Structure 1
Amino acid sequence: MTPEVEHTDVGAYALGLLEEDDRRAFSAHLAGCPSCTAELTELSGMASVLAGIDPIEDEKDQGKEHTGEIPHAEVIDLLRRKKIADRRARRGTFVIGAAAAVTLVAGGIAVGSVISGGEGTAPMAHSTHSPAQESFEEGTPIAGTGAPGVSGGLVLEAKGWGTHAALELKGVKGPLECELVAVSKTGERRTVTGWAVPAKGYGVPGSPRALYVHGGTALSSGDIDHFEVSTTSGKTLLTVKI
């Protein structure tokens, strides 16, 4: 890794392939990069999946002894290509929780992951927007009521499994640990997602970029009364009435 931390090291970090110094540098980078944090979430399950896959046998080498292992970098590349192709072909609809398959042609082995579906061979690239930001900007935001200086809103999408929520948050400084919580009409509270706010914050002087995160709840939109953005210390930063 160069002295300037590279966004493209997300896959290597997720698989534990970085050297110790690079791993520490990238961990620090994650605290201030929502897009890398979102991509890491999508790829985080791959390490355990890859660990249990047997060696690949190419069709042209059938009958021959094969002792190779699946190149982790190639799998990460395939995952990213599928994600990029899906964004281009299905812009306007973000799919979360859909089970997709990356087919490794050499062995005919399908590796499943919770990523956007779709086929394609687009070259690997780093999007300037995270999936959460794309989902928010492509939807119809519901504005929230914030604590002094705090603003934001939600874009909701009804799913067969519940409700997908994309959050935009501005006017917060850290260090803080926060949660987005869905509150049902009966008072039941369900955590949608959680994150950390670094000291420099989001949507504030010196750090004008808003925070974008997303997640899901099993509650249907019709059963939800409101959403809350709260700190782990119990302070409510934003309330979004549905």
Structure 2
Amino acid sequence: MSQGVEHTDVGAYALGLLEEDDRRAFEAHLSTCESCTAELAELSGVATALTGMGPVEEDPLPEEDVLDLLRRRRAEARRSRRGTMVIAAAAAVTLLACGITIGARLGGDTPGTVAGSEHAGHLGPAEQFYAEGTPVEGTGVDGVTGGLVLESKGWGTHAALRLAGVKGPLECELVAVSRSGQRKIMTGWSVPPSGYGVPGSPDPLYMHGGSPWPLQQIDHFEVNTTAGKTLLTVKA
């Protein structure tokens, strides 16, 4: 990326494939590019979905070899200008073929394993980030509970959401509300009929989200259904 920041680099950034100088340059680009910020929030779920895959071969490749292969796929995708989803798809194929668990290494800014936790290696990036942070608990309705771990970034605000006590089917969004009353969607997802954090489906949902606004400009966050109901409110 020595000749300038490219929109196609959002996928490489999400998967932690950028070199340090490129990563800093792209974070600066995110602070002025809403489309890349929104796409980063969408792609954050890809790393979560890929984490924790079990072995599919008896002799998986070493982790460093897989990371090198991911970087080569990233370079090929940039040359062909096919965009960030090619990078994500290449990562999925690579991980399935090699049968390893890279975990948080897929997220360039995701912290390492939780100290003293044997379960940490099996956490998805959003869950691990939430476990290591200081959650801000929200106020829910109809038995919904949850909170956010917030992090200021060069491009805006990174958030990890924990949500429980919700049944589907629903379509939901995490929304940032500025001090001036403006609203921006940080990420969205579907709740299956079985739900999250309820009897029969006890595991809560963990989700990444991103906003181009600095944390000091945000008044609060909301988890809303696409039908307009607010399930959870979290003060910034």
Structure 2 regions of 5+ residues with no counterpart?
A: 1-43, 52-69, 82-89, 113-120
2:94 to 59, 76, 89: 76
1:168 is matched with which residue? 162
Among candidates 173, 180, 183, match of residue 179 of structure 1: 173
Displacement after TM superposition at 1:37 (Å): 7.3
Aligned residue pairs, count: 157
Could you tell me which residue of structure 2 aligns to residue 39 of structure 1?
Answer: 49
Tell me which amino acid in the other structure corresponds to 1:39: A
Instruction: Choose from 199, 206, 210 the match for 1:212.
Output: 206
Q: What letter corresponds to residue 94 of structure 2 in structure 1?
A: I
Residue number in structure 2 paired with 1:9: none
Distance (Å, rounded) in 2 between the aligned partners of 1:74 and 1:191 = 26
> What is residue 105 of structure 2 aligned with on the other side?
86
CA distance in 2, matches of 1:162, 1:196: 25
Structure of larger gyration radius: 1
AA partner of residue 49 (structure 1): A
Once residues 155 and 135 of structure 1 are traced to their aligned partners in structure 2, the CA distance between those partners, rounded to angstroms, is 8
Question: Where do 1:69-218 residues align within 5 Å?
Answer: 76-77=94-95, 83-84=102-103, 86=105, 95-96=108-109, 128-218=122-212
Question: Over residues 57-101 of structure 1, what are the superposed CA-to-partner deviations in whole Å (9 max), with x where a residue is unaligned?
Answer: xxxxxxxxxxxxxxx5897249997944838xxxxxx645xxxxx
Letter in 1 for 2:195: G
Q: Structure 1's 200 and 218: CA in aligned 2 closer, same or farther, altered over 3 A?
A: same
Higher relative contact order (CA 8 A, sep 6+): 2
For residue 134 of structure 1, give the secondary structure of its aligned residue in structure 2. Answer: helix
Cα distance in 2 for partners of 1:146, 1:74 equals 35
Q: Percent of aligned positions with the same letter in both sequences?
A: 54
Specify which structure has the higher proportion of helix: 2
Bigger strand share: 1
TM-score w.r.t. length of structure 1: 0.55
Runs of 5+ consecutive residues of structure 1 not aligned to the other structure: 1-33, 54-71, 88-93, 97-115, 119-126
User: Structure 1: how far apart are the matches of 2:139 and 2:190?
Assistant: 21
* Large movers: runs of 4+ above 6 Å: 34-37, 78-82
Contact residue 111 and residue 129 of structure 2 kept, 8 A: no
